[in-house]
Structure formats: C-alpha cells, structure tokens
Structure 1
Amino acid sequence: MSADCFYPAQMGGPSNAIYWQAKALTMAGHDVTVVATSQSLPSSIQLDRWLTLDCGRVIYTKNPHFYLPIKHIRYGWQAMRTAEVVHVNSLFYPASLAWVFMGLLLRKPIVWSPHGELSPVALRFRPRLKRLLLNAFRLFRSFLYFHATSEAETAYIRQHFGVDAQVGEIPNTMELSSPVARVARPYLLFMGRLHPIKAIDRLLDALSTSPLFLNSEYSLIIAGPVADKAYSSFLHERVDTLKLSAKVTFPGPVYGEQKEQLYADARLLILPSHSENFGNVVIESLAQGTPVVASTNTPWQILETERAGRWVSNDTDPLRQAVDQFIAMPSEGYTLFRTRALKLARQRFDNRSNVMQWEQFYETVRKKTRDITY
C-alpha cells in the first residue's frame, strides 16, 4: 500500500483513512505493508526503517524532496514483489505513476484511490500537468481497478477513464472514538485544512448575514492546518472586512483528546466545501453526537435522510438558513439530532464492522487479474 502522507501525519483526511483501513485489515488477520513518505511527521518517528505497528509493517521514507520520492519508489518496488494486491493512494503524486508501472511489470492486481483528485474543483489546480498525466494513465486503464468513496467519485472516475472503468465503491470508515463527556458551549465549528477548496469564505459570508448569529453568544472556531498560505491570509482579511473579529477564532490544528472535545462541545460542525470525495470530519463529528451541515458538493445526503444534519448549497442564503435552524432549535429537537448523529456513525462508519467490504473487493480484483492477458 502506497501513501504519500500517512498517520500520524495530519495533512488531510487520506492520512487517517488509509491508516484506519490498514489497521482494520491487520486486525482481521491480513498482512499489510505500507510505504509512506516522511511528509508532516512528528520528529519522533523513525525514518527509513521498517516498523511493526498496529496497522501492519510500515516504512516512512526520507526523500531528497517531497516531489522527488526516490526512496519511496525503491522501497515500494521491494514491497510489491511479494504483495498479492498493490494499492496506490493518490493519482498525481509523482511516485504513483512509478508504482503503477512497477505493478504492471510484476503483473500485480492494482487498486488506485484518487481521494477526491478527480473532482472538477480539484482539477483546476495545476490543470495542464494533470491533463498530461491523465492522458498517460488512460493507456493502461484496462489493467486498473479504481476505488471510489462515493457515487460522485465513481462518476468522476468513469468520466475520465471511460464508462467501463472498473470501480469499487467503498465509503471511508474509521476507528471511532468513544463519546467524551460533553460540555455544551455556544460555538460553531469548521474542522479541516485551510484551503480554497474548503470554501470557508462562503461560511464567513453566510454568518455575516445572520442577525441570529451576530446577536447571539455564538462564535465560529476554524480549526485546522494551513494548506494554502494565501488563502489563510485571505480568510483573516475577510474576517476583518466582515467585522467578525470578535466572533471568529483560528486555533490552528488540534489533535487527540482536544480534537474530540472540540467536536463534542460544539453546537454544529459545518463543511461548506466546493468539493469533497468524502469528508472524514463528518464522521468524527457524528461520532461525538454533533450534527453536521455539509454542502451539496459533498457526498453527505445521508445527513438529510437520517436526520443527523443538513445537506445544503454553500451559497450564502441556504447556508445561513441551515445554521440558523440549529442555533434556534429547541433543546428537545436538538437532542434528537445528537442521538441520530451518534447512531449513524456507529452503524455505518465503524471500520471494524465494515472491513469485509475491503476483503471482498481485493479478492474480486485478485481473481479478475488472473484472467487478464498482458
């Protein structure tokens, strides 16, 4: 299994999603090997050494540069020679193409997870390079099996690789944290990378037009790492322009118990993104019983059907109305939302009870690959 960023690195949802998947498979008795880079790791992690962890055998490679992953590729070649299935995470990381070519040379079954990189919004970033790479990938698409986390991502894959592209649709699951003791506090929460794709500015605009929010005790906490310095500066400027300085705080990235407490104590998590292939923060919030408002650019319609939150446009008026609904909601109705949120997380997104989906998918890929003529 290849990962450009891998737990305990915290550079977006895939860092954790790949870890939880590997851990669930390891707990189910499978031999899992992960080759990851040293990107965004704490200094305590040993590099260029095979480590036996709860998610299998892992090596964090120290490369000359993140985009020059020489050791990542070399250790990948060594690992995949004995692998039954090669799983590549990320389409556009430089090592991914090398991994796929090496897997084809070894005639290994190859699963490829885009992790949201094929959404129209994501493809706007460095579009020329991505078009070039996609053209190269199409040359051997008949030998590939893609993994999608949602119906929308399946559609994106087939848009770029053909309607006959082989896709397994498996939503992200995770190791759910136990609910912590909640201390209800009057704040709304955004959790995630500070990047333009997250549309945090849309949330600020919506709240600036809400008399209910402006005249209440409620504030907004925007927690997460800076993934785009220009966008982070823009957000701070936008807060000042909208006269929200007394209402908005940026605590930076939060982890562990502090993160779970932040979810639990919040009135609401808001994910206003322009695009998400999944959105692990939604599950994390639901697992603490906190309802979620997610944009219709995310695959979270289930929030509406299970009445655990709202699924609305990230335009100013719909977003403001959804947030206002939860600020004004009577305690009895709000308690029901919290109960349903917790139930949804436990039943649908616990990695230990859903590992069979991965086992079946890998077995299907392995059997089909045996029948391919190279």
Structure 2
Amino acid sequence: MSAFFTVSSLDPADGGVPECVQCTCTYLAQVGVDVEIVTGRPNLDAPVLEPTHPDVTTSYATAPGHIQRHTKLWKTLSRRLDATRPDVVHDHGLWLPSNLISAVETHRRGVPHVVSPHGMLEPWAIQHRGWKKKAAWYGYQRSILERADVLHATAPMEAQNLRDFGLSAPIAVIPNGVPLPDTWKQEPSSENRRQALFLSRIHPKKGLPNLIEAWSRVQPDGWDLIIAGPDENDHRREVAAAVEEHGLGDVVSFPGPVRGEDKWALYRESDLFVLPTHSENFGVVVAEALASGIPALTTTGAPWRVLGEEDCGWWTEPKVDTIASALADAVSRSDEERLAMGQRGRGVVEERFSWAHVAEELRTVYEWIRGGRARPDCVHPSNNLDA
C-alpha cells in the first residue's frame, strides 16, 4: 500500500495541519504504508516539520514567490505521480492552489483521492474572509469535494457539517491523534500560584477576547494566564490591548511559540488548559493537555463533549458568560480535584486518540478504496451518518 500526501506547507507556523501531516505519515509508515509527501517551501532554510520515520520521503517544491512555488509544486507532483503511481493521494486543507493541483493531477490519472478539510468548512471558518471562500467554493473547491473518493472528518460534528454542504461522498470519521508523553502531571502544584494555559495560534477564531473578558469578571485569586503560540494577522496586539484595558497585565503573559519538550513541560507546569475557540474540527491541543494530565476547558465550537461525559474538564458555549461560569468552577476546585480530572483525561486519550490507532484506521480506509477489504466501520457511505 502506497500513499501520497499533498499539503501546501510543512511550516510549523502554519498551525495544526503540518503537525498532523507529520505525525500521520510517521505512524502510517509504522503500519506498513509507503508514504511520500509533496509540499512547498519558500527556500531551503525554511523550517519544516518532517516525519520522523526514515521510510517517509518528502519532495519539496522550493521557490520564493507564491505563484512560482505553486507552479513548481504542480510540476513536482505530476512528475512524482508518474514515477511512482501510488495507490491513493491524500490531500490536506482547502481553498489553496495546492488543493486544486492535487485534485487535477490525481483525477487525471484515475488515482483515488482522499481529502481532509481540517475544519475549514466549519461555520465560523467559512464566515472568516467569506467572500473569498465563496468565490473559491463555486470556482473549484466544491467540485473537488464532490469528486473525492473519501472525505476525512475528525469528529461526527465535522462530518455533519460536510453533509450540510450537500456533499455525498463517503466520510471517514477518524480523530486526530496525539503523542502520549512519557511523563505527565501526577502531583498537585507546589507553588503558591496556579497557572492556566492557552496554547494555540493567536488567531481571531480562537476566542481570546472572550477569555480575557471572562478572566476579568472572575478575577481568580492566585492564578496566572499564559497565552502561548504564534501570532497570526497581528491578532496578538488586539488581545494584548484587551489585557491592558482590563488591567490584567500583571497576570497575563505572552511567551510566543512553544514547541518540543518545552511545550510538554509547559503543559505539565499548568493546572488548567483553556481553549475558548469559536470553531475547531478537532482541537488537538485539548488532547495534548489531557495527555499531560491536566483538565481542559473548551467550548462547543470544538467536538469535546467527552470532557463533561468523563468528568475531565468543562465543555461550554463560546460566550463570555458561559466561559466565565466554567472558569469560576475550574479555579474553585481543589488541586486534588483538578489532578483527578487530569488523570481521567489521560486515560481517555490513551484509549481513544493514540496515533497508532489513527494510522491503522486510515490504512483500512485506503485498502477499502482500492477494493482490498470490506468497508470499515469508520466510513459512512451515504447522507445517513449512522449508516
């Protein structure tokens, strides 16, 4: 079984898609899939998240300009498809020239095509820069999704949103995975102060102004709020202005992007994770927080109903009032209560969201597309998501 992954970029600053591609390809190789990634980058020194498995190869289309890079990406993909003839091409993201290139070259050769929208058809995401997306939808994106052999959703909520757009292709509902750190929080904090953590892109869809307003209402005594992650569209300046407006400069900090072991250490040092998002197809940072043994607070904009069902966090409406209410409850709990919630969350991630499980599910989908096995349970073939 061989698979091509197409993605616009593996730059870690581009959010969760590069990290998802990196991990998926690494674990697919471990379950016997031959994987090659075709992607672009602006120059040879540009940062990339490459898979860690030695058998995964990456073909780069390297050029400084946007148009030149995608022109080169088109030629690179065409050449590699002709050279290797993979069993399936798995494209990631929407709205970009790379997605059109992947679809055209794949369909031209009759290779099965899988598309992972990564939440880019969620209601909030569609409204953001809506006129551009409307033009792209009718120009090419709708046709790509209608012709796809399988659409990949990371949660039933995302799958339903795809159906609401009138898309009838089979949908594979497979969550994103999360690496399980060897060490996680197993003792209450010993410091006098407690720490709440937001770790994601600093982007308007993440709902940070709502969090700042909620924090100012609750004013949790003895707590600090860390807002970590890369700035996008200069949104950090807007959030920082809200921090100053509410007089929270002494308790809110912005350490910037945090990766690798520093990221996992920051999770373990925290007592609560907060993602006040308007829209997520999955929200891998919630899974990472749980895997690190800390409870999580997020909104119904993310598919994390399990937080309430398994008593490992809070799942609330993406509004200031409801976020403030959940935050007040979270900071009022004892250290021991929050630790117990975090331990339950760790167990949830171990059971449901390991990358090994995700890779095995994807492999079965690829085999089904090629006619090598019966339809997997994760694939819903019609408009009925219960089918």
- TM-score norm. by structure 2 comes to 0.86
Give the corresponding residue for 1:221: 226
For these two proteins, the number of residue pairs brought into alignment is 359
Q: Given the alignment, which residue of 310, 320, 323 partners 1:319?
A: 323
Aligned equivalents of 2:261 and 2:137: distance in 1?
41
Aligned equivalents of 2:129 and 2:45: distance in 1?
29
CA shift, 1:255, in A, is 1.1
1:179/1:287 contact within 8 Å kept: no
CA shift, 1:123, in A, is 1.3
Given the alignment of the two structures, is residue 239 of structure 1 paired with residue 243 of structure 2, yes or no?
yes
Give the corresponding residue for 1:77: 78
For the structure 1 residues 131 and 44, does the alpha-carbon distance in structure 2 shift closer, same or farther, using more than 3 Å as the test? closer
Aligned equivalents of 2:215 and 2:52: distance in 1?
47
Gaps of 5+ in 1: 369-374
CA shift, 1:363, in A, is 1.5
Matches of residues 41-120 of structure 1 in structure 2 within 5 Å? Answer: 43=46, 53-54=53-54, 56-66=56-66, 68-81=69-82, 82-120=85-123
Identity of counterpart residues, as a percentage? 28
SS at match of 1:355: helix
CA shift, 1:44, in A, is 6.9
Structure 1 ranges of 4+ moved more than 4 A: 39-46, 50-53, 180-183
Aligned equivalents of 1:55 and 1:66: distance in 2?
29
> Comparing 198-207 with 313-322, which one deviates more in the overlay?
313-322
Given the alignment of the two structures, is residue 309 of structure 1 paired with residue 313 of structure 2, yes or no?
yes
Give the corresponding residue for 1:203: 211
1:295/1:314 contact within 8 Å kept: yes
2:294/2:338 contact within 8 Å kept: no
Aligned equivalents of 2:258 and 2:148: distance in 1?
41
Q: Given the alignment, which residue of 182, 189, 198 partners 2:197?
A: 189
Aligned equivalents of 2:43 and 2:116: distance in 1?
21
Root-mean-square deviation (CA), in Å?
2.4
Given the alignment of the two structures, is residue 149 of structure 1 paired with residue 154 of structure 2, yes or no?
yes
Give the corresponding residue for 1:361: 365
Q: Tell me the amino acid that sits aligned with residue 204 of structure 2.
A: P
For the structure 1 residues 66 and 278, does the alpha-carbon distance in structure 2 shift closer, same or farther, using more than 3 Å as the test? farther
Given the alignment of the two structures, is residue 346 of structure 1 paired with residue 350 of structure 2, yes or no?
yes
2:41/2:61 contact within 8 Å kept: yes
1:296/1:313 contact within 8 Å kept: yes
- TM-score norm. by structure 1 comes to 0.89
Matches of residues 158-177 of structure 1 in structure 2 within 5 Å? Answer: 158-162=163-167, 164-177=168-181
1:221/1:249 contact within 8 Å kept: yes
SS at match of 1:259: helix
CA-to-aligned-CA distance 1:14-51 (integer Å, 9 cap, x gap):
111111111111011210000122269965769xxx99
CA shift, 1:108, in A, is 0.5
Q: Given the alignment, which residue of 19, 22, 47 partners 1:19?
A: 22
